[in-house]
A and B are shown apart, each in its own frame.
Chain A
């Protein structure tokens, strides 16, 4: 083969990899069996305090008020349905919104820790997305890290007197991106060794996510703004009950 032919072959390989990378739907869940037991346990333990905090927070909110309990359960089911919807994406393949940003802005990070865990369990069982052994890792990235950063950004943007649409967009965008970053870190921590160092491995997973998920994060940010605008004008009363701090 001539050098130019070799280069063509290599270019076609890159295209194939790039296209393959855009096919997986909601690629941010770590699939069953991808983490060694030690890391499964470590992320699970790390998630535990947030879960306990979330459960107490929900319990206090629901005490003597069944309406809030019902609203929270509906919100959880809504997060699940949202993640099952197909989002049109710029690359032509279909992908799913994560709902992390919208859930955080509407319900707050404490409720998201519990609702996120339950949604992840049902995604693992009903849709085979994610897994039981990787539940702790996925819960930490999607139900804790993303919502907390999103909430922080939302709060900071509001303090800076940013318009509502901008704070919601920024919250959803950063929540998405931060979730990917944590997932990339989790994968890199588990999959580096003699051949590749942690940083090289991390760069690889971050690179994959940057190519595929950056456009998705922007798309989801816009979607979140559109949904938030309609929902906050139609259900102001219920949202105030669910999350007074909003």
Chain B
């Protein structure tokens, strides 16, 4: 296969290629493995690669489609590190719910992709296994925390990938690498087998080359799972069915808070142009206000670390993962956790522990949960009158590796994405142009469980853009 074709190859083209006999599932997988072997040492998108020959590949909707999986999702028999030294040699014992579904649909797996430790970060610089480089410019980050998945798709080292999104971890790297990233509604996709970071915010979703593939993967990933009691029973729909339905007279809200200070002026211009294009497609746009937007990041940096401190308490050097034997149990805990966790994990565990500790709970954690209510209500109010909300995915294009040394400066990279997780809404980032050769992402936010609408708008924007 020609080098350029890998970067373009979509799920639909794989289906056609296998059907017409252009390649078999095994041949295609081998071609990808060869390319990964050659290019991954520079890119560091994959942490592990699966070279075993295919045995059984069911004839489902994803028959023979080679995928990359973020390394915080369990795949039985394979190493799952979550980007952390504490799980460096941990072997998964079971498949995550999403992996079982993908297997049943006939997908194949190329390997596990790099991420910030336990998905905590916006650049993969917090990975214990080195940074992932941006395929558009190797001196820049691929974004994070699903940076490995975004880079693998953008560089043509996978047809599509899975990521997880707690505060922007699918959408931000998708924007930085120029691919499509979808965070489904909280509860749409089972989290069973995803290594938990912040359980009330985490959601698994696809990173793909186009919107159609995103819809196709969502078809397979969706559905209530008895193993995840927060997953929601929703009617089964085909997300690809209505992608071409016209968006004439669709009501589009543009929050003024998403275009304030901090937004790069050229990114702003690029996103504004994309919004005008939606108007040309017949959508009606109007400026609105989400008055509590400015408080989202602060609320997020209390709620998320609180949940992190609780979820990461299970890593104790006793049952699995890195163990540093101490004189007694407490020594073992202290030694194992201090040796196994990186700086950002320690920072967030301590921040969360502080916010939950006696005397500070009301002032920090409880107050943040109340602000979460205000942020959710802001969205509810706008969605009474509008079908979708649009704006930039990130305030800037991909930044340089090593550029953001202060943790708070790094946190600001997620300023437009975190409120979506706090409100549990679906959102997609799609490429909408470039600034100085670097991709810009347009974020479309929908009502709860209205993935169909954001996918439809995204698809039609994508079609006119490529014309």
Same complex:
no
Chain B interface residues toward A at CB < 8 A: none
A residues within 8 Å of B by Cβ? none
